[in-house]
Structure 1
Amino acid sequence: MLDSQHNLPRGTICIEDLEVGMVRYLDKTVTDRDIELFAEVSTDRNPVHLDDAYAQDTIFQGRIAHGMLTAGLISAVIGEQLPGHGTVYLGQSLKFMAPVRPGDRVHAEVKVIAIDHARRRVTLETHCAVGNTVVLKGEALVLAPSRKFD
């Protein structure tokens, strides 16, 4: 199946077909509506995300998206593309490097860096960037789907 917005493959890559170095990504422009919806769902209504006047007086000098909204784009790549449907998240480290602002186009990328076939565990390098600026980086550990039944 293809994502109509980005023409990226969606579905599942079973652990038997994964290789170190495989990369998948998505690109998304973060909108005011995204930020408002994330605030509603998460109940994180910090005014740095929602109030222009308040945010102007912060170190960010303007409104920013929630860091976990940006991190959610990593989750989307993992859950939809690499490894994809059937993947179970086991852990994720995150380091927030720079803010994401309303209107920024975020490139979220996941790369396979290690595969433990015996335990079906895959280690993924994760990062998000706006242009040439890395805004988030980390590492994920997932349980990958398999064609074999346990």
Structure 2
Amino acid sequence: MQVKPCFISLIDSNDHPLLIHVVQNANSEIDSVLKFNTFSNMALDYFESDLYEWMSTSQQDREIKDLFQLEGVTVYGKLIKQTSLKIIIGFFSNLDCDDEALSQVFGDVSSLYVKCKFNPFVINDEELIAQLQIKFSDKF
């Protein structure tokens, strides 16, 4: 069984959010959307920290970092160094997220991003975001 995140954020190399997707089964009221937006902004501070390289969730995948836990949500992040894309994913803290499940979710998000980004019919950021919203809604 795959663990479902409560939100997924993609942040570009200039620290501008491309997308903050709130998963349907998560509380999608405006307060939750704002809370997850704030968590995404907070996560950017961790990416800028010198300690970021030392944080790791497991020995297997040193790319996924356990950033913080706040208000019942555990936030993880991954930096794609080649493009400086930051993937931030939050899970409700009461879920049992083992290393394999985390790697699977981050892998799925990365794969969906690449498929949408390199789709020849996606010609601008608005279309990319729309495609990502559809793919994330279908998957999660």
Q: Does TM-score exceed 0.5, indicating one fold?
A: no
TM-score range, shorter chain: under 0.3
Bigger proportion of residues as strand = 1
Query: Which structure's residues are more often helix, by fraction?
Result: 2
TM-score (normalizing by structure 2): 0.26
Give the TM-score normalised by structure 1.
Answer: 0.25
